[in-house]
Amino acid sequence: MFSSTFKRQLTKSIRFQSTFTIPKTQMGVIFETHGGPLHYKEIPVPIPKSTEILINVKYSGVCHTDLHAWKGDWPLPAKLPLVGGHEGAGIVVAKGSAVKNFEIGDLAGIKWLNGSCMSCEFCEQGDESNCEHADLSGYTHDGSFQQYATADAIQAAKIPNGTDLAQVAPILCAGVTVYKALKTADLRAGQWVAISGAAGGLGSLAVQYAKAMGLRVLGIDGGEGKKELFTKCGGDVFIDFTKYSRDENGNDKMINDIKIATNGLGPHGVINVSVSESAISQSCSYVRSTGKVVLVGMPSGAICKSDVFQHVVKSLQIKGSYVGNRADTREALEFFNDGKVKSPIKVVGLSKLPEIYELMEQGKILGRYVVDTAY
């Protein structure tokens, strides 16, 4: 792996450049099999490669993608055993010899995209997330559910000094993703956007980014406290899907109510961040003619169904949107740094991760859970 000379140089550079003492072991959550036990235990501190930084992760957001990774319900192989997490915020405590863009002591963020080939057609044009060789934090690379994590220095997010690390953590995936999805929807100020899954981790930030972009926001979600959070995030009209029956009549009534609330024509765009196949297909029915349906949430095995006749005569577009690139990350962080979006978070210890997954599975989470790696 690493030559002993390199390791010596690294140790030397850590000693010379920093007052940080890096332990050999740390606490983290690791699992060996999909759906198997989530062990909160002592694990080795990883050693950064020449192109990587070592981040002392203070806080990490818990994204629904982490739950997919643990369950193994996506057709994309993950590394095992795996330390999940890809919304990590912390301090750079060591760096490899080739790293030019971070100094020891800087604040840095771990994102879903940890690295890509940087030479394929997609990387060349800034679509690094679409790279066939993408390396993913908390999926193909051990992530932020540990006290010390390595991150590719090129892809790691720059976080300004003095930033509240618990607050900024969810921006690193949820914030970047919904900001990019809203750009993908290509809407103008004053138009209506519907956020399906509006009070979850991505949804609660999507509502705020959309408002900051001057859009009118209709949110769809259901359950205790979701309407209240949506309103607190600045949303305009809330539709509680649990108040409608699940049969065809219920669906039609909900679609009709969404249209009535949006000048009778439906929203100009929809950001689908729910983890519900039926909610995704439904959005093709209530979106306005010439509107855009953006797919973000990825329920396992889901198919998006759109009636072809309606699709054609309404001239709809269905677009996928997958996290964001480095520029999207910087821009999404700028909205946060300017105070235009705030993360609705609940902070608990990293050891509580299994309980968070349980609540997430039941759709009971309001906003985002953030884990403190100290306990």
Contact residues for ligand 8ID, defined by CB under 6 A: 63-65, 68, 173, 177, 196-197, 199-203, 220-223, 241, 273-276, 279, 296-298, 321-323, 360, 363, 365
Residue 131 near which of Zn ion, ligand 8ID, none (CB within 5-8 Å, type-dependent) = Zn ion
**Residue 251 CB, nearest approach to Zn ion (Å):** 29
Nearest alpha-carbon partner for 186 in 322, 291, 274, 283: 291
**Which of 143/235 has CB closer to Zn ion?**
143
CA-CA-CA-CA torsion sign (194, 345, 277, 185): positive
The option from Zn ion, ligand 8ID, none interacting with 216 (CB < 5 to 8 A, set by class) reads none
Min dist. Cβ of residue 74 to ligand 8ID (A): 8
Instruction: Tell me whether residue 103 or residue 358 sits nearer to ligand 8ID (CB atom).
Output: 358
Nearer to ligand 8ID, 56 or 177 (CB): 177
Q: Which of residues 137-176 bind Zn ion (CB under 5 A)?
A: 173
CB count, 10 Å around CB of 181? 30
Give the whole-angstrom CA distance, residue 250 versus residue 231: 24
In the complex, what is the shortest distance from the CB of residue 135 to ligand 8ID, in angstroms, rounded to a whole number? 15
Give the one entry of Zn ion, ligand 8ID, none that residue 269 binds, where binding means its C-beta sits below a cut-off of 5 to 8 angstroms depending on kind.
Answer: none
**Do 241 and 220 touch, CB atoms closer than 8 A?**
yes
Q: Which does 270 bind (CB under 5 to 8 A by kind): ligand 8ID, Zn ion, none?
A: none
- Return the range that interacts with Zn ion (CB under 5 A); candidates 111-119, 192-200, 246-254, 276-284: 111-119
Minimum Å gap between C-beta 225 and ligand 8ID is 10
Distance of CA 22 to the CA centre of its chain: 28
Residue 95 binds which entry of Zn ion, ligand 8ID, none, with Cβ cut-offs from 5 to 8 Å by kind?
Answer: none
Q: Which stretch binds Zn ion (CB under 5 A): 41-49, 55-63, 240-248, 274-282?
A: 55-63
In sequence order, which residues have a C-beta less than 8 Å from that of residue 331 and are 6 or more positions away? 179
Least Cβ distance, residue 42 to ligand 8ID (angstroms): 28
Q: Pick from Zn ion, ligand 8ID, none: which does 322 bind, CB < 5 to 8 A by kind?
A: ligand 8ID
DSSP-derived letter for residue 46 is P
Which residue lies nearer to ligand 8ID by CB, 15 or 305?
Answer: 305
Residue 117 interacts with Zn ion (CB under 5 A): yes or no: yes
Inter-CA distances, 82 with 42, 101, 114, 128, Å = 14, 28, 15, 23
Under 8 Å CB-to-CB from 173, ≥6 apart: which residues? 61, 63, 65, 86, 87, 111, 112, 323
Residue 322 to residue 236: CA distance in whole angstroms: 26
User: H or E stretch including 121?
Assistant: helix 121-124
Of residues 331, 37, 300, the one with CA closest to residue 158: 331
| Residue 120 binds Zn ion, judged by CB under 5 A | yes
The stretch among 34-42, 63-71, 138-146, 205-213 that binds Zn ion (CB under 5 A) is 63-71
Least CB distance to ligand 8ID at residue 273 (A): 5
Which amino acid appears at position 294 of this protein? V
Q: What does the CA dihedral 181, 185, 188, 189 come to, rounded to 10 degrees? A: -40
How far apart CA 135 and CA 300 sit, in angstroms, is: 21
Minimum CB–partner distance for residue 176 and ligand 8ID (Å):
8
Give contact residues for Zn ion (rule: CB under 5 A).
63, 65, 116-117, 120, 123, 131, 173
